[in-house]
Amino acid sequence: MSRSCERPRHAVPPFAPDWALFLDIDGTLLPIEDHPDRVQVPPEARALIRRLERNLGGAVALISGRALADIDRLFGPGRPAAGQHGAERRDARGGLHSVQREDLHHRHVREALAGFVAAHPGTLLEDKGLSLALHYRRVPELADEVRRFACALEHSLPAGFHVVPGKMVYEFRAEDYDKGRAVLEFMHEPPFAGRVPVVIGDDVTDEDAFRVANRLGGHSIKVGEGESCARWRLDSPAAVRAWLIDYAAFLESPEKNGRE
């Protein structure tokens, strides 16, 4: 494995006032639940995002596998965000950008996934519109069977789609969009342009964004265990929120421009 993908150090970068934050949600800002709809956002977490947005001139974006509408349900509408791993994105001016492709749920793939879920209680099919997710967090003993099914189904996906494994989930989505591309697009737009990208995430799908942040001279922070292209590490969503609270306090301090 190359040096860029070694185990991240158990540390975080020194604060700086010119960051742009790109934050995953499940497993990063919030603990992962056994069903996506069970996730609850504490009021203090919403307040923290607003506080960071205010102190960074709006240069904060939520980058998630969830659909954009679901991100809005959790954190409120209107803010910069990328849903379905970048297949849909809202810029800081409210402009919407999305993959111009036939949705997967119009194909036989959805029927195959629905049939598998019906035959395997405890698994879950999440239809996000531009992507599909097969969850098995409630039945971890089916991991091998789910993996074999997902790999077999990948061979019959429409052109331009592929399967991406995650934490007890397999995502069926477009090949040419990922979180890295979403970060790169944000970084070419105000208020992100000219800032230093800081990406925080916990799963395989965050690796594309980590690589972009590294390439742009920014910071990549892995949440939890496992090898990663990220250069830094935080242990848990609680640690992420605590660190972001400290960063918000740093931004509000009179001496911030003199700190390292």
User: What are the residue numbers of the active site?
Assistant: 24
169: tokens are 């989930």
Q: Tokens standing for 145?
A: 């069977």
Q: Which residues, 6+ apart, have CB-to-CB distance to 56 below 8 Å?
A: 19, 20, 21, 191, 195, 251
Q: What is the CA radius of gyration of the chain?
A: 18
Please give the sequence-ordered ranges of beta strands (E in DSSP) within the chain, or none if there are none.
19-23, 60-63, 81-83, 88-90, 96-98, 124-127, 132-135, 161-166, 169-174, 196-201, 219-223, 232-234
Measure the CA angle with vertex 17, ends 232 and 248; round to 5°: 80
CA distance 3 to 211: 12
For 86, the token pair is 């970048």
- Token readout for 69 is 């509408």
First-to-last alpha carbon distance for the chain, in angstroms, is 31
